[in-house]
Amino acid sequence: MIFSTALMLATTIVAPFAAALDHRPSETDSVTVVTIGTGTPVPNPHAAGPATVVVVGKRVFLFDAGANVERQLAAANLPTDGVEAVFFTHLHSDHVLGYPDLIFTSWVFGRHLPLRAFGPPGLRAMTTNLIAAFADDIKVRTTGLEHATANGYRVTVRETRGGVVYDSAGVRITAFQVPHGSWPVALGYRIDGPGRTIVISGDTRPSTEVLRLAAGADVLVHEVYAASKVENEKMADGGDWPKYLKSAHTSDVELASIAKTANPRMVVLTHVIALGATDSAMIAAVRSKGYTGRVVVAHDLDHY
């Protein structure tokens, strides 16, 4: 009975997506990439879960919400009481473990408007179930001495399979499908802001859509693994690890071809499955087919 009541509560608050408020962009708006979390599923204390922020002026757009996301936002001196919107590439656990943190911590510390969330099919059900799971927390915070804003935890969800998902005040965000293992829908995003274009690959094997949409971009934020180290890696779950990597991720050598053809001004490597390879070795591999732009291995809280 408690669960069904909570589920009914959650269903009522996960409303259809409302149109973004339209306001004029400022001439002083700048576009900055901040790698909030650069990690993988490996519980590395030096790399938080996957999360990338694009800051346009004072507006904060979050892409994925891995573990520790709210503390990383605080560490980057970015708002912890609500981002402009969050965009999920896919629903693998390492990319969403910080989602309840984003929902509830931002509410507890000041958010009173619905959090806008975009992502692939399945995001609405996940959101509904997360809020149902926190029904007791919601009740205690709103009826007790904390006096939390009633309904301030709400989320509006828009599920997408691709296309323009946000277009307001000089910021246009386009989702596009990428191939990532057996996920039916995984997404990358292109962000067109005032004078600067950012492309975020999400988790993907080599993608023609990344190649197309990153052509001439200012920054390509791309996941990567070290091709030279794959066969040396032993995983507890058996021998399909090399096969999985090839079906779900992009090697540094494969990224070299993407970088050369698309020719963005800068390639930022994140969600790096290094397997023991050094940063310099991976950068050299990405340059190996003639790309002459800047290549960096991102670490948590870097700015570009």
pLDDT of 42-93, one tens digit each?
999 999 999 999 999 999 999 999 999 999 999 999 999 999 999 999 999 9
Task: Give the CATH fold of the 2-18+29-303 domain.
Answer: Metallo-beta-lactamase; Chain A (3.60.15)
**Angle between helix 123-133 and 2-13 (nearest 10):** 130
pTM for this prediction? 0.90
22-36, 136-150, 200-214, range with the lowest pLDDT: 22-36
Query: What residue type is 60 in one-letter code?
Result: V
Check residue 2 and give its pLDDT: 36
DSSP track, the chain: -HHHHHHHHHHHHEEEPPPPPP-PPPTT--EEEEEEE---SS--TTSPSSEEEEEETTEEEEE---TTHHHHHHHTT--SS--SEEE-S---HHHHTTHHHHHHHHHHTT--SPEEEEESTTHHHHHHHHHHHTHHHHHHHHHSTT-PPTTTT-EEEEE-SSEEEEEETTEEEEEEEE--TT-S-EEEEEEEETTEEEEE--S-SS-HHHHHHTTT-SEEEEEEE-GGGGGG---TT-S-HHHHHHHH--BHHHHHHHHHHH--SEEEEEEEE-TT--HHHHHHHHHTTS--SEEEE--TTEE-
CB 293 within 8 A of CB 266: yes
- The candidate with the shortest Cα–Cα distance to 34, out of 61, 52, 49, is 52
Check residue 252 and give its pLDDT: 98
**Long-range contacts of 238-247, Cβ-Cβ distance < 8 Å, separation of 24 or more:** 244/181, 245/273, 246/205, 247/181, 247/182, 247/205
Q: What's the pLDDT band for 241 if we cut at 50, 70, 90?
A: confident
Write down the domain spans for the chain. Answer: 2-18+29-303
pLDDT digits (tens, 9 = 90+) for 100-136: 999 999 999 999 999 999 999 999 999 999 999 999 9
Check residue 29 and give its pLDDT: 80
Does residue 231 register a pLDDT over 60?
yes
pLDDT digits (tens, 9 = 90+) for 10-28: 333 343 333 333 334 454 5
**What span, in angstroms and rounded, lies between the C-alpha atoms of 224 and 240?**
18
Known active-site residue 203? no
Check residue 17 and give its pLDDT: 35
Q: What percent of the chain has pLDDT over 90?
A: 85
Check residue 230 and give its pLDDT: 86
Which of the residues 29, 64, 94, 101 is marked catalytic?
Answer: 94
pLDDT digits (tens, 9 = 90+) for 178-212: 999 999 999 999 999 999 999 999 999 999 999 99
HEC sequence for 42-101: CCCCCCCCCEEEEEECCEEEEECCCCCHHHHHHHCCCCCCCCCEEECCCCCHHHHCCHHH
Average pLDDT over residues 164-175: 97
- The candidate with the shortest Cα–Cα distance to 152, out of 87, 78, 81, is 81
- The candidate with the shortest Cα–Cα distance to 200, out of 61, 68, 63, is 63
CB 32 within 8 A of CB 303: yes
